[in-house]
Amino acid sequence: MEKLQQLYEGKAKKVFATDDPELLIVDYKDDATAFNGLKKGTIAGKGVINNQMSNRLMAYLEKQGIPTHFVKELSDRETLVKKVSIVPLEVIVRNIAAGSFSKHYGVEEGVVFDQPTIEFSYKNDALGDPLLNTYHALALKLATPEEIKTIEDYSFRINDALKAFWLTCGVTLVDFKLEFGRLSDGTIVLADEISPDTSRLWDSKTHEKLDKDRFRRDLGGVEEAYAEIMKRLEAHLK
């Protein structure tokens, strides 16, 4: 499968057409951004790690009955995926208070919830990805009620599966962001990526951050953290 014209260049990936209208190639970059693009940098080797990690996790989720866009890893940084029309919602699942949740609600980072939470942001860079509830999503016609139900159901099942997997690696899954899309027949599938860019992953014992917060918060050891989390995944996901 060959890359044809570039359709899109985002903050972390480039997207290319292929000779099959139902398939795309995504190419993962080392570019890193935070705070809606305000902070920019590079994390050497990140593209390779995010590509491989996302693919392995999606293959694992497929085995658990979650449909995803993943088709085939083509190279270190490139993957063939099913083309979807992205549902413009960023779905965030949380097990532990951190980041914007801690800030908005005045809860110390690290407080463990009795049950996971889910929230949606409107995927719209110009508006700064504002938080919205399902009534807002319906009013804006971003998805149908059935699609929202499916997305919520998949998101909690993905959380259960990923939480259990990361635990075997000695890693606590704090929170993560998902994107879903529609195939040409309307089927909802998990799309985009699952990586340390889009998840908070803490060492279970020391609570050391092994994710993009090291970049966001200038904690140092960014490349080392990405390498460490990938090493743990490789040791536990055959």
Enumerate binding residues for ligand UDP (CB under 6 A): 90, 92, 98-101, 129, 175-177, 198-200, 212
Which of residues 22 and 218 has its CB atom nearest to ligand ADP in the complex? 22
Rounded to a whole number of angstroms, the minimum distance from the CB of residue 12 to ligand ADP is 4
How long a stretch of residues is the chain?
Answer: 238
Q: How many CB atoms lie within 10 A of CB 135?
A: 8
Rounded Cα distance between 44 and 101, Å, is 29
Q: Is 49 in the site for ligand ADP (CB under 6 A)?
A: no
25 and 16 Cβ atoms separated by less than 8 Å: yes
Helices (H), 38-144: 46-63, 99-105, 134-139
188 closest CA partner among 229, 155, 139: 155
Place of tokens 């532990």: 96
Stretch that binds ligand ADP, among 9-17, 98-106, 162-170, 217-225 (CB under 6 A): 9-17
Q: Is 200 in the site for ligand ADP (CB under 6 A)?
A: no
Residues 174-193: x where in contact with ligand ADP by CB under 6 A, - otherwise, as a string? -----x-x---------xx-
Which of residues 12 and 97 has its CB atom nearest to ligand ADP in the complex? 12
Q: Is 83 in the site for ligand ADP (CB under 6 A)?
A: yes
Rounded to a whole number of angstroms, the minimum distance from the CB of residue 176 to ligand UDP is 5
Rounded to a whole number of angstroms, the minimum distance from the CB of residue 208 to ligand UDP is 16
Q: How many CB atoms lie within 10 A of CB 63?
A: 9
Residue-by-residue DSSP string for 15-32: EEE-SSTTEEEEEE-SEE
Give the binding site for ligand ADP (CB under 6 A): 8, 10-13, 15, 24, 69, 81-84, 86, 179, 181, 191-192
